[in-house]
Chains A and B, each alone.
Chain A
Amino acid sequence: MNQILTIFIIGFIALIGNWIGYKVPFMESLPGILLLAVITLIGMGFTRILPFKSPVIVWISLFAMLATSPFFPGNEYTAAAIAKINLLALATPILAYAGLSLGKDVHLFKQLSWRIVVVSLVVFTGTFLFATLFAEIVFKLQGKFL
């Protein structure tokens, strides 16, 4: 119950952000946000009733893809409504919550050696850079996106 409410509250916050930051009128982004909330909830519910453990992200992605794919009823409306919600308007609340959670790790951080901090940065760089590089090489080989 609590999580359902949380989803709608976050949706409301994203709506405000979409309105202020990307000039989409409140009522115009309402259907898109509601659809996103419903898809998210279906994905969460589905993960819960499955007899085995699985990542919720997978199911939400799949349901969102399905609902907007050409063979699903009403897909054009769904896709158009969700397209009105700017990706960045959904990302800002994520990082705002992330910010509010930062303080809990500050005292742990103070105990870390500088070496692990350097290693962290290298690890972050490695995963981003290598994936980008590998994708770029495949695209070059395939002659795509040149």
Chain B
Amino acid sequence: MKKLLLTFFVVLCFAFVSFAAEILLEEPVIVTSAGQSPGALQFTVVAKMVSLDYKFDKLYKAEDVDMSQFKTFVIVVGASGKGLGAAGIDIEVEINRVLALAREAKDNGLKIVICNLEGASRRGESSDKIVTTLAPLASVYFVKSDANEDGFFTNLSEEAGVPMATFEMTVGLKDVLAQYFGK
């Protein structure tokens, strides 16, 4: 009986460590927008609250970034007509830009976070297309709850077997970052 309990305890410990390792994210972090909404800017404001070591540019290009300098790549998804117009690009160009960055990040061993920080207001054809295109490369999803009322992110997360953290309010991302980055 003693042996059985000991075995169970050891297995449990390994299971916990492996789960923790699977979702542990590391700094430094590179952040970009996918869709040019202000969500990525919001992410940086919350990131400052937990003193996250990050670099941000809403228009990073794969050829201009040395991904080997980073450990985690955060893509904040939110399609904005105004934002895309201001950047002088369309949604297809935007998707290709972010996809190239994500592939470069994957090749360099970075973990990729797909983040919806603006909730239901950034769900729609264009935003969903960005998410589904990037889904095969996702390591984890950070999602504001009202963006997942139809289970869109839950389905993607379960299909790919990657974790998902949800939060009710924008400021709730602070706790998620603290948890995932061990802050």
Is B a genuine binding partner of A?
no
